[in-house]
Structure 1
Amino acid sequence: MDSTELNKIMAAFLTAGIVFGLGGVLGGKLIHSPRPEHPAFAIVSALPEGVSAAPREVPIAALLAHADPAKGQSDAAKLCGACHSFNKGGATMVGPNLYNVVMAPIAEGDGYDFSAGLKAHHGKWTFDDMSAWLKDPKAYAPGTKMAFAGIANGRQRADVVDYLRTLSDSPQPLPPVPKEAPAAAATAAAGSAPAAPAGPSFAEEVGHADPKLGEAAAGRYCGACHSFDQGGAALVGPNLYNVVDRAIAAAPGYSYSAALTAKHAAWTYANLNAWLTDPRGYAPGNKMGFAGIPSEKQRAAVVAYLRSLSPNPHPISGAGAGGADKPGQGAHK
């Protein structure tokens, strides 16, 4: 290949490059591509602007400003009364006496041997410490002897702390409310948080529950005091065969408390749910020492098992699924 041919080839490449470059410049001038006013796909944040992923907990000082010591007294009796006395000079029981406990030194009290977990707290029962202790005792004092799981609800915890504050010849003044907290505290005290989406009814939960799991749970929770077989004897508590939709306090051979005989209704699914959640709250003064089953899923399984204890298990829909304390067909059995 001579130099003339080589020059022609190089000139062709150079010309093509110039044409390509000029074409791009001219094309950009002739055809405009303005930025769109709105993106084709809007990327929406999962949370509204300014809202944090985890809401801050309302300080106990703010909640105490709206607390009800009368409610706290009722809750303390149910939650703490089996292990503690509240009166001045009251006896040490499973746990220490709680009179004058607010601002008292932690893990100090006549006649009670406190755990090392509490003795490690070298301070006083301030309102903040009392709230943290009652919220999660095991987290506050690992190794504590107290088996109580805690009070997760801030309003209820504040009511109890406010009641304990009154147990003194000279009650401690309420702590000042933080400046940023009043609105949040008022919202919490009024219970005005947005309602959670409605889930399935308890009767529907029973319909989807596994009676076999319920049988195992009922054996653990109830087997020491109740019989489950047809015609079974009343033990510490009544026989539970065919209990679903049976009139409350109507099993033969058992002397019920006045708290239950006053319930002129049937053991609907809703009533069984309320009873198994909090027996003392459902029927104050009843004789059953059982504290309740916190898990709704586990309660539904237990009730599904109880439902199976019948020659004709009660339908999921109908009277047995009714609201709490509404008479059902069983009220006339």
Structure 2
Amino acid sequence: MKSTEHNKFLLYLFLFSFFVSGGLSSCITPRTDAPRLSDTEIRNQTVFPEKSGEKPRILLINSDSNVEKYKTAQEEFKKTVSASVLEANLGNEKELEGEIKKMLAYNADLVYCIGAKAFSFAKDHFGDKYIVFSSIINCYRLTPFPPKTYGISNELHTRMPLFMFRSIFPDIRRLGILYSEQYTLQWFKDAESQAKELEIEIIGNSVAEKEEMMPALKNLLSRADALWLISDPVIMPEKKFLYEILNVCAKYRKPVFSYHETYVNYGAVLVVSVDEATIGRQAAGIAMELLSGNKMNTDEKIQFPAGSQISLNLKKTEEYSLEYNKDGLGMVNNIVK
């Protein structure tokens, strides 16, 4: 790596360390940030003040408890809180009527929703109560929120993965992104803005329906150094679309950067993912703050995920003959060789 490039990398590495150590929460706008609770703080806040000798009552609604990431958030939430928790699953159509009756009969102090389906149900039936949500793609598309709504965004702050891409693969300067106006337009605009500061060019193609996805992908790969595959149900309505995208990128010998840790096993080169267990604990921390009577600032209402995992597919990196910064591997949690 040239001296100038090396100096830039050191600067980026310093700034990255600054951001992940907490500096991030003090220098971005209220809509897209909130103070982060550390894992230690979340674990230590495990006791609610009792009301009239009884524990607080929490209704936990899961959009589909068979979804692994939803299940992980649910389990960690339950482990962390000291409260009476009634669990409901909207994913089982056969038992849905009974689940709804059970929820409506439960006099909850707070509702925790996992996924968009659960949150939509809570908005319709529990809008007067405290609502905490997580695991919703582009949660702002569901606004307006009930006034007592708090949550954790499904996406990391865009600067976080961009720093990792830039730090580990400093020669990759043009990132292609497929997005939809319905779900991820605002996220795409935020990513464009953040990328400019890191001297990365974002090349985007908007997709309105799944039939447009493959032509848009091939067009994108002819102009970009790598694909940044994001979470968007228009781009990947079914799992088979993931395999198709990865296969096409492999034919073009273009690396894929993405958001889900399992994707490195299917051929993605670098993944910066949300830690789902931390999401559950973070949601529990918010719930405990609310039920203890503590007032939360308006800029704390929607928080970024507090934890992340970095995974690198070194085998694919070498297969594509990609230059990577070995000094940056210390930041990687999982390496596939």
TM-score of the aligned structures, taking structure 1 as reference length? 0.21
- Structure number with the bigger relative contact order (C-alpha 8 A, sep ≥ 6) is 2
Q: Which has the higher strand share?
A: 2
- In the superposition, the TM-score normalised over structure 2's length comes to 0.20
Give 1 or 2 for the bigger CA radius of gyration: 1
